Structure 1
């Protein structure tokens, strides 16, 4: 059964949905969404909520930390740490592509960090690596304000 745990005031909380754990934190102008586990049709909801609302369980934070409120609170980008993601199917791929479009429409950037070789291959085979902004690790994603263009690390 999914469980939700409220995090400290500076986080959006943590959510575990079957085989996927999603944690949201904030560092400066970046919302960091950390995922661990398997991303598929059965586990995507927590990540979807975290990307859109800044909370993995669908609650909007009191700081207007959502994509809709990004400009008001200094949010410039959403960085998804994929270092603990060991499986991703087409549901996850579509989720990242849709989140990128929604972030851009809200004046934000979506950036992905530390994908496994399997996820890198998924992005390459589908051509998503030419659209998504992918960094080799979380440190490089957070260290670059502007960063490279789509598909470049």
Structure 2
């Protein structure tokens, strides 16, 4: 199941008994960040830990990072964890430059939902 925008970028959501996997595709910028934040909030509302699979994200700017940071804070407030998995080189650089790599649990491998 996915939510596509006019550019064909989408955000897929999969789940099993333990986790919910959110997979954004394409570019995550100011026009798409609200959609990511909404999707992450809905995933967290289901009461499970959330893994954001970043392997298909070709670009992420500060608004996309802010959506991830907000979701991480909301997850922690409810006693859950938001993990990042398989970030692309550009996303890794964004996380490092901003220091956000120190606040997320990051798995270099993609998750299996």
User: Structure 2 length as normaliser, TM-score?
Assistant: 0.90
Matched, 1:118 2:83: no
- More off after superposition, 20-29 vs 95-104: 20-29
CA–CA distance in structure 2, aligned partners of residues 39 and 106 of structure 1? 26
Per-residue deviation, 1:106: 1.5
Per-residue deviation, 1:68: 3.7
From 100, 103, 106, the counterpart of 1:131: 103
| Gapped regions of structure 1 (runs ≥ 5) | 1-12, 55-66, 143-153
CA–CA distance in structure 2, aligned partners of residues 42 and 105 of structure 1? 27
2:55/2:85 contact within 8 Å kept: yes
Per-residue deviation, 1:46: 2.2
User: Structure 1 length as normaliser, TM-score?
Assistant: 0.68
Relative CO higher for 1 or 2, CA cutoff 8 Å, sep ≥ 6?
Answer: 2
Paired position in structure 1 for 2:55: 83
RMSD, matched Cα: 1.6
Paired position in structure 2 for 1:48: 37
CA–CA distance in structure 2, aligned partners of residues 87 and 134 of structure 1? 17
CA–CA distance in structure 2, aligned partners of residues 35 and 17 of structure 1? 11
| Gapped regions of structure 2 (runs ≥ 5) | none
Q: How many residue pairs get matched?
A: 112
Return the structure number with greater helix share: 2
Structure 1 or 2, whichever has the larger Rg, is 1
Paired position in structure 2 for 1:17: 5
Matched, 1:29 2:18: yes
